[in-house]
Structure 1
Amino acid sequence: MIVFTLLCSYASISSSQATSSDGFLQCLSASGIPSQLVFTQSSPSFTPLLKSSIRNPKFFTPSIVRPLYIVTPTNASHVQAAVLCGRRNGMRIRVRSGGHDYEGLSYRSEHAEVFTVLDLSNLRAVRVDTQTSTAWVDSGATLGELYYAVGKASNVLGFPAGLCPTVGIGGHFSGGGFGMLLRKYGLAIDNVLDAVLVDARGRLLSKTTMGSDVFWAIRGGGGESFGVVLSWQVRLVAVPPTVTVFNLPVSASQGAVDVVTRWQQVAPALPDDLFIRVLVQQQTANFQSLFLGTCDALLPVMSSRFPELRWFNRSFCKEMTWIQSVPYIYLGSGSTVEDLLNRTTSAAVFSSGYKATSDYVRQAIPRDVWATIFAKLAQPNAGLMILDPYGAQAAAVPESSTPFPHRAGVLYNIQYMNFWSMAGSDGSVQTKWIRDFYAFMAPYVSSNPREAYFNYRDLDLGENVVVGNVSSYQAGMVWGQKYFRGNYQRLAMVKAEIDPDDYFRNEQSIPPLPKSK
């Protein structure tokens, strides 16, 4: 099972900073935010709250720069007040929904910065309308909570987003959001109809009032760049009453190298009702699948389209409802639909740190390279690869229609991950393995730019440089074009429109495009 995690730190402040932070607290109080929704570092609840949705414990160490305060709004006016009070008192805000940011930038800083975390976990309502096949979901809700609400409302409606149920809606949608329904219905952002945004001026904006450019930008342009998205209206999608899932491991001795080599061309070209991903770890390739139909319908498709997976037969089929498939695929066979509502970070999860990054593949990798890859994955302290096929509806959307540009021509996405025990390692060996493996993969993946998925954020790809209290557009281009390709410039133009002073920023937020002289 793939593990996810988060972080914390200790910061000292100068007397001038203390004065501005006192002003921030006074402003929050005067604006009507109840004191029980504001937590200072001296509060007994501060550390448990900060830790509650930290998914990568490598960031929960004394050397990490942590927030001065945590604000937990319960309505839109609290968010507006926090933004306005922050601007008046020089207090920056970082916004956290689920805490799965791979670099922890929703609750920590790489630099000695005084900031407050706006924790949206109290804003988590999901309102499903089966008559219109739509739903409104707050950014503080998790994917599991959204899926659960949809499944309770209807057994023939679903939503195309990620696998991990504890991922927060706000961050996931902001970066694109894909999962097992990717090829049938595209990404989460392809199914967003409206949104409610608090901008840097504290205004509460809808799709109509924020304008088409801003609405375009928030659907995949990266979290915490354009404001605080409070809620999203989404289009629900049709799923059959019965779906079929399977998980089939193939070892290297059984010919996994040949099967994965063939999978590269088969998986992106299959009927869009069939999604087959691969998790490659050590000497085994696990083929994990969701088919929108029965086992009887799946068997002839597999035998005709992917005969190389010759071990597949009826015994591997598990038929269930779509909502049952969500916990089954991610949490395992003993899980229940109610497990989707669990938001907590378990002790087991919190014991493992990790490093991750990503690639996109546009030309199939040769078999001999796959043989080398399997050998590298067999090394001590090696990580794993997750291969997600694209094509079909994901590729049918034009590259410029949303900020997410990895569309036509993409065969699949690769996620690289490596884990270590926080009790016995600092992760340096595992991190080096990821970086070395990423360097090895360079000739075989996309180039000019070498593409990456924003929701697998990696600061190794580049960081913002602040010049004159505004993030540099040129420095941002280094990482921005990897995530957004040709859409980076338009995102910077939108940033200059909605937040020209760069109030909402972190190490990989969109910088404003400088005005031409």
Structure 2
Amino acid sequence: MGTSFPNSKTLYLFSLLVLFIGSFSSPSKAFANESLTQCLINHSQPSHPITSAIYTPNKSSYSNVLQSYIRNLRFNTSDTPKPALILTALHESHVQAAIVCTQKLSVQMKIRSGGHDYEGISYVSISSPFFILDMFNLRLVDVDIEAETAWVQAGATLGEVYYGIGAKSKVHGFPAGVCPTLGVGGHFSGGGYGNMMRKYGLSVDNIVDARIINVNGEILDRESMGEDLFWAIRGGGGASFGVVLAYKINLVRVPETVTVFSVPRTWERNATEVVYKWEQVAPKLHEDLFIRLTMDVVNGTKAGEKTIRATFFALFLGDAQRLLSLMSNSFPELGLRSSDCIEMSWVESILFWTNFPIGTPANALLSRTPQVLTHLKRKSDYVKQIIPKDGLELIWRRMIELERPMLTFNPYGGKMGEIPATNTPFPHRAGNLWKIQYATNWDEDGDEAARHYIKLTRKLHRYMTPFVSKNPREAFLNYRHLDLGINHNGDESYEEGRVYGVKYFKGNFNRLVEIKTKVDPGNFFRNEQSIPVLPQ
């Protein structure tokens, strides 16, 4: 049943490298700062001054800019490697200057849009010196309701996208994540899923154009970049191929009234039967209905005892009466009542799914401050066969032993099963019943606490081995975890990249490598889990 972690040695080396890099001398950094700063200024356009967008460690605002978009406190410590410089690009020409200068000076560039990368690789590096190209100022959301499209810059948040759509229409939306502070750049380029994916697919299934700056500093759209590169940046991780400036998306139709509910069941309250039924029906329900299942450990009815709570969290694209009828026919075991159902607009449902109080105004979506900021570890899996009742209860017993890690099951089916696995780099389509997210959060600072909680997450992930996909054990790029492998971008880059690449992309990995080799043969755009080039 157990699964070894073949990358534990690599992860240990990564930890040592992080400490080593953190100890780099200030003269080295000062040289990098000075050279890079001067180069950026020399290569900027007088009509778009760049100086105010440059932050070096000697600036008082440097730490605030760096920390503003760190969404995992594991990577906000004194020992975390710091960038030699942060460029908060104010214009596309600033991005072009960054690409020219980092190649000229052999400085690694990290690209950050929202900072939600679970392993922090958009703002932390095992290479030094490095700098951050921060895209948060490039956040324009231009909605054209007549054409039912929108151009969205990479530095925008999903909340800004949803607010922009909702301000112009009550009957349009977009299928993407339910966390409003997610940055568009990373979310879209990794696939982008949300609670309308059974109806409309992923974010990448609804992208019709893009603007990207390539390794030569050229700004390309879909026509000029070609269909291969356009394919790659819709689910293959844009930061492996260039700097994505913006995506053009097709809006989707939503009803004026949608319905949501959140219904918990504990182990003592028949959770086994209800969850087992959910497994059978959730991927087959009407595509207007998405029911997420979250399982966590809570206090039981008796003092000192723990139990499992299964919470069924739903979005239905329709009114409550139709939902109740559908649930009565398809999933009566949940016992959904009219009092459980809350009708609202689609934009309001985003706030509900993000745990804002009912009645919160829509402009809360514009806030870039996360509701929760903590230390975290995430992992992912895919399930292709129903887990039997005794299997569910074995999993729950293990969860109670570990106590902290949570499981979230996101059902597939509907549109997800209709789109071919090769349409985009995201390959997890037909044949998958649901995707699993492993989530562990903690408040304690320090390496000891981090090692403890990461170990708990890995233990649960290992315990789930018999119940999930195999050969490869598939994973979701947007739920990135370095346990799958780290690319040091040296002589073994292709071999290292293939280890995690086939798990994220399955058969699409080979095409991604071919495209990468063609558009960035020198592997300039790289990170710890980027797409490698073909070996020489």
Q: Where does 1:170-319 land on structure 2 (aligned, <5 Å)?
A: 170-282=185-297, 283-310=308-335, 312-319=336-343
Counterpart pick for 2:166 among 151, 155, 160: 151
Q: Is the 8 A contact 1:157 1:236 kept in 2?
A: yes
Alignment of 1:508 onto 2:523: no
State how far apart, in whole Å, the 2-side matches of 1:338 and 1:280 are: 31
1:378 alignment partner, SS class: helix
Alignment of 1:323 onto 2:339: no
Residue type at the aligned position of 1:514: P
Residue type at the aligned position of 1:405: P
State how far apart, in whole Å, the 2-side matches of 1:223 and 1:13 are: 32
Per-residue CA deviation, residues 105-136 of structure 1 (Å, 9 max, x unaligned), is 00001x24211100001000000000010000
Pairwise CA distance, 1:467? 2.4
Partner of 2:35: 23
Per-residue CA deviation, residues 394-416 of structure 1 (Å, 9 max, x unaligned), is 11110011000000000000000
Q: Is the 8 A contact 1:161 1:188 kept in 2?
A: yes
State how far apart, in whole Å, the 1-side matches of 2:30 and 2:463 are: 48
Partner of 1:63: 79
Residues 34 and 41 of structure 1, relative CA distance in 2, 3 Å threshold: same
State how far apart, in whole Å, the 2-side matches of 1:250 and 1:16 are: 57
2:401 alignment partner, SS class: coil
Identical positions, percent: 46
1:42 alignment partner, SS class: coil
CA RMSD in angstroms comes to 1.7
State how far apart, in whole Å, the 2-side matches of 1:337 and 1:285 are: 29
Pairwise CA distance, 1:20? 5.0
Per-residue CA deviation, residues 1-31 of structure 1 (Å, 9 max, x unaligned), is xxxxxx9984525867754543321111112
State how far apart, in whole Å, the 2-side matches of 1:492 and 1:21 are: 33
Counterpart pick for 2:487 among 448, 453, 464: 464
Gaps of at least 5 residues in structure 1 are 1-6
Per-residue CA deviation, residues 63-118 of structure 1 (Å, 9 max, x unaligned), is 22121100011111110111111111111211000000000000001x24211100
Partner of 1:134: 149
Pairwise CA distance, 1:485? 0.5
State how far apart, in whole Å, the 2-side matches of 1:37 and 1:205 are: 24
Counterpart pick for 2:120 among 92, 104, 109: 104
Counterpart pick for 2:404 among 378, 382, 388: 382
Q: Is the 8 A contact 1:130 1:153 kept in 2?
A: yes
Q: Is the 8 A contact 2:87 2:133 kept in 1?
A: yes
Alignment of 1:422 onto 2:444: yes
Per-residue CA deviation, residues 194-247 of structure 1 (Å, 9 max, x unaligned), is 000011111111001111100000000024100100000000000001000000
Gaps of at least 5 residues in structure 2 are 1-17, 298-307
TM-score w.r.t. length of structure 2: 0.91
Pairwise CA distance, 1:336? 2.9
State how far apart, in whole Å, the 2-side matches of 1:513 and 1:322 are: 45
State how far apart, in whole Å, the 2-side matches of 1:410 and 1:345 are: 31
Q: Is the 8 A contact 1:295 1:314 kept in 2?
A: yes
State how far apart, in whole Å, the 1-side matches of 2:183 and 2:342 are: 28
Residue type at the aligned position of 2:139: R
Pairwise CA distance, 1:457? 0.4
Residues 381 and 66 of structure 1, relative CA distance in 2, 3 Å threshold: farther
Partner of 1:4: none
Q: Is the 8 A contact 1:381 1:430 kept in 2?
A: no
Counterpart pick for 1:473 among 494, 502, 516: 494
Tell me which moved more, 330-339 or 160-169: 330-339
Per-residue CA deviation, residues 440-480 of structure 1 (Å, 9 max, x unaligned), is 11111001100010000000011113324xx6112111111
Pairwise CA distance, 1:156? 0.2
Q: Is the 8 A contact 1:80 1:198 kept in 2?
A: yes
Pairwise CA distance, 1:354? 1.0
Query: What is the aligned residue count?
Result: 502
State how far apart, in whole Å, the 2-side matches of 1:435 and 1:270 are: 32
Counterpart pick for 1:91 among 107, 114, 117: 107
State how far apart, in whole Å, the 1-side matches of 2:165 and 2:320 are: 24
Partner of 2:506: 485
State how far apart, in whole Å, the 1-side matches of 2:148 and 2:172 are: 7
1:426 alignment partner, SS class: helix
Tell me which moved more, 375-384 or 262-271: 375-384
Pairwise CA distance, 1:307? 1.4
State how far apart, in whole Å, the 1-side matches of 2:130 and 2:356 are: 39
Q: Is the 8 A contact 1:58 1:422 kept in 2?
A: no
Q: Is the 8 A contact 1:223 1:509 kept in 2?
A: no
Residue type at the aligned position of 2:487: N
Residues 55 and 201 of structure 1, relative CA distance in 2, 3 Å threshold: same
Q: Is the 8 A contact 2:405 2:460 kept in 1?
A: no
Tell me which moved more, 148-157 or 15-24: 15-24
State how far apart, in whole Å, the 1-side matches of 2:289 and 2:86 are: 43
Alignment of 1:341 onto 2:366: yes
